[in-house]
Amino acid sequence: MICALGSAVCFGSASVLQAVAARAAVPGTGAGVDPGLLLRALREWRFVAGLALDGLGFALQVLALRALPIYTVGAALAASLAVTAVAAARVLGVRLSSAEWTAVGVVCGGLALLGLASGAEGGGTGPTELRWSMLVVAAAVLLIGALAGGLPDKPRALVLGLGAGTGFGVVEVAVRLIDSPDPADPAIYALLLGGGSAFLLLTTALQRGSVTTATAGMVIGETIGPALVGVVWLGDRTRGGLAWAAVMGFMVAVAGALMLARFGEPPTTEEPATEKPAKEGPAQTEPAASAEKPKATAPAKPAEPAAPTEPAKPV
């Protein structure tokens, strides 16, 4: 469980750095997935630092998946949003509402229940068809991301988020399926393609559209599906008599993560920047109004020199 929580801390901290870097990168011309975005984002040191944290988080995730059920690791990864929220509050000065602090506590409580109820890693290896199906799903994630460019903003963000979450879910399942580095094992290619596609979709979602919607979709995609695969095909179980606690902890942790979905977009410090021009706006309109008053009085004075009618009397 320590590795799963450590992975969540790494991913949550990395998302703060990567989101800021993705927004600072020069945007592309299309509305869909932009492969060149990764190359442009690599010029930002914060993005590179986020990648380093992602690498460490992935290593801890692999260790966690080798010792815990997928549903526990998936819920812990979703809880990285709580880490992002706290990091945004401390580092970026973002204010958390009382409901959001409650959501952070809810996530922690759900993970505590999962830690008490989860059993050991399931011993199932799954059928061969499961390995090939993971590769097909990984390819479908990349295809769906490419087609998402033709959708309106909100549906596009949701599709990108679900696609990214599904790709990360493929990685979770593939790690469990890989026993040895066999080049003939389709699970290896599913892991590489699923992880790469998910990262590309997530980076695109961080730059375009509603990131809150995309993050909510990602949380759903990376938790529910892999958890079901682990229970049905890979033998993941709970401790005796604690299945109810595992189910409740999973649902509570995911629900708390969804409440914190807006922290998939950490650059909320831009909001005060948009408020400042709004405050300066009225200050600029007031001088404009006062400038118009002299203009109204100025023409009134030249109207008086119409008194040249008096010299007409001597005539």
Q: Cβ–Cβ contacts within 10 Å for residue 208, how many?
A: 24
pLDDT surpassing 70 at residue 106: yes
pTM: 0.74
Residues 6+ apart with CB under 8 A from 236: 69, 70, 71, 119, 121, 122, 227, 230
pLDDT surpassing 90 at residue 62: yes
Q: Give the closest residue to 223 by CA, choosing from 78, 13, 40.
A: 78
3-state secondary structure 272-296: HHHHHHHHHHHHHHHHHHHHHHHHH
Q: Give the closest residue to 223 by CA, choosing from 165, 156, 296.
A: 165
Mean pLDDT of all residues in 235-247: 90
Q: How confident is the model at residue 158 (pLDDT cuts 50, 70, 90)?
A: confident
Q: How far is CA 154 from the centre of its chain?
A: 14
pLDDT surpassing 90 at residue 189: yes
pLDDT confidence of residue 38: 64
Mean pLDDT of the chain: 79
Q: Give the closest residue to 85 by CA, choosing from 97, 77, 96.
A: 96
Mean pLDDT of all residues in 120-125: 76
**DSSP structural state of residue 238:** B
pLDDT confidence of residue 33: 57
pLDDT confidence of residue 126: 83
The pLDDT tens digits for 26-48 are 555 555 556 666 677 677 788 88
Q: Tokens for 232?
A: 């049905």
Mean pLDDT of all residues in 104-128: 86
130 near 5, Cβ under 8 Å? Answer: no
